[in-house]
């Protein structure tokens, strides 16, 4: 029994679609089908019920799926124990470098099994797809995240701060309640720029924004700096990378926070996931 066949089966079981599984594996669909047929023949059981309209696991397939994931994780641990040279650790990130990221990269490099982190700047959706497809080892995502085919672990929490221009009525205050900020002044980027963070910010607001979100964060910050009553919300650590003579950041009172997550493939060994989370934790 080949590990490759188990990996193909796990991918099909997660996608429940041969075409999408082939895309994740970066191979042609007939090769996936052949490996599944060969594995079923070798095990003597049908793993998948497939028709022209759907694919679903059989009871035997569900049992084999759990064992296959354990086997793949065990194989990864064997390679580590054997002293396999540390490969590049490909991390999907947003286009900003924070103090947390710097600290985490140092922790990963200085760990008992040193890693050589490689940062890949991708939008959130592309980050998650790259983890699914094996092009990234892990991704960092802020906000409200649900990804059933991936392992998602909360690693940290950071406060949301208000960003406003220097002419805003609340400029100069040490902290500001959300209720003191005019709803019509709120500016948010379009959801497709960073859906999990967008959803988390909306969930923290008592009322929906008066003005529909539009553009990316750079466009929003330009508007906030230009319009006296405009304001937006951003994670404090992300704000630390933004420098502008026209903008101020002010903490909220009471504090509102947003969670940061480490996202990996389900095949990633638990020990590896734990080490990634520890690297990015507070």
Q: Give the pLDDT of residue 87.
A: 59
Q: Which tokens hold the place of 23?
A: 């895309």
DSSP assignment of 44-55, as one string? TS--EEE-SS-E
Q: Which tokens hold the place of 223?
A: 């508007």
For tokens 């630390």, the residue is: 240
Identify which of 95-104, 148-157, 213-222 has the greatest average pLDDT: 148-157
138-144-145 Cα angle (round to 5) = 40
Residue 132 binned pLDDT confidence (cut-offs 50, 70, 90): confident
Asked if 247 and 161 count as a contact pair (C-beta separation under 8 A), the reply is no
More confident residue, 111 or 55: 55
Domains of the chain: 3-81 (1.10.10.10), 88-155+259-280 (3.40.190.10), 157-256 (3.40.190.290)
Residue-wise pLDDT for 20-43, tens only, equals 888 888 788 888 888 999 999 999
Segment among 88-97, 127-136, 146-155, 184-193 with least mean pLDDT: 88-97
Q: Give the pLDDT of residue 174.
A: 93
Residue-wise pLDDT for 244-268, tens only, equals 788 899 999 999 999 999 999 988 8
Residue-wise pLDDT for 151-185, tens only, equals 999 999 999 999 999 999 999 899 999 989 999 99
The backbone torsions φ and ψ at residue 260, rounded to the nearest 5 degrees and listed phi first, read -115, 140
pLDDT exceeds cutoff 90 at 79? no
Question: Over pLDDT 90: what percentage of the chain?
Answer: 40
For 163, how many CA atoms within 13 A lie in the half-sphere containing its CB?
28
Other beta carbons less than 10 A from residue 232's beta carbon? 22
pLDDT exceeds cutoff 80 at 114? no
pTM of the entire predicted model: 0.68
Q: Could you tell me where the DSSP H helices lie in the chain?
A: 3-15, 18-25, 29-43, 59-81, 99-109, 124-133, 195-204, 217-226, 236-239, 270-280
* Average pLDDT rounded to a whole number, residues 200-204: 89
Identify which of 108-112, 116-120, 219-223 has the greatest average pLDDT: 219-223
Q: Provide the angle, in degrees to the nearest 10, between the axes of the packed helices 18-25 and 3-15.
A: 130
């Amino acid at each position: 029994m080949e590990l490759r066949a188990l990996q193909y089966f796990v991918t099909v079981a997660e996608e429940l679609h041969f075409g999408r599984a082939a895309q994740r594996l970066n191979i042609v669909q007939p090769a996936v089908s052949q490996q599944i047929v060969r594995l079923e023949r070798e095990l003597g059981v049908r793993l998948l019920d497939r028709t022209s309209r759907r694919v679903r696991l059989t009871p035997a397939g569900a049992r084999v799926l759990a064992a296959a994931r354990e086997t793949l994780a065990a194989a990864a641990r064997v390679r580590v124990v054997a002293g396999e040279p540390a490969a590049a650790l490909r991390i999907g990130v947003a286009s900003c470098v924070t103090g947390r990221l710097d600290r985490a990269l140092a922790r990963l490099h200085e760990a008992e099994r040193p890693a050589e982190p490689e940062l890949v700047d991708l939008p959130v959706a592309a980050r998650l797809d790259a983890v699914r497809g094996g092009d990234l080892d892990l991704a960092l995502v802020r906000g409200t995240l649900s990804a059933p085919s991936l392992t998602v672990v909360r690693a940290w929490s950071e406060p949301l701060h208000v960003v406003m221009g220097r002419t805003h009525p609340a400029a100069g205050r040490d902290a500001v309640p959300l209720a003191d900020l005019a709803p019509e002044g709120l500016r948010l980027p379009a959801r497709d720029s960073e859906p999990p963070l967008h959803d988390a910010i909306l969930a923290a607001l008592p009322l929906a924004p008066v003005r529909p979100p539009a553009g990316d964060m750079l466009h929003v910050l330009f508007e906030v700096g230009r319009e006296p009553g405009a304001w937006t919300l951003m994670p404090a650590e992300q704000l630390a990378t933004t420098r502008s003579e026209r903008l101020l950041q002010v903490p909220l009172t009471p504090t509102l926070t947003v969670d940061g997550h480490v996202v990996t493939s389900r095949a990633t060994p638990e020990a590896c996931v734990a080490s990634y989370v520890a690297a990015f934790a507070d």
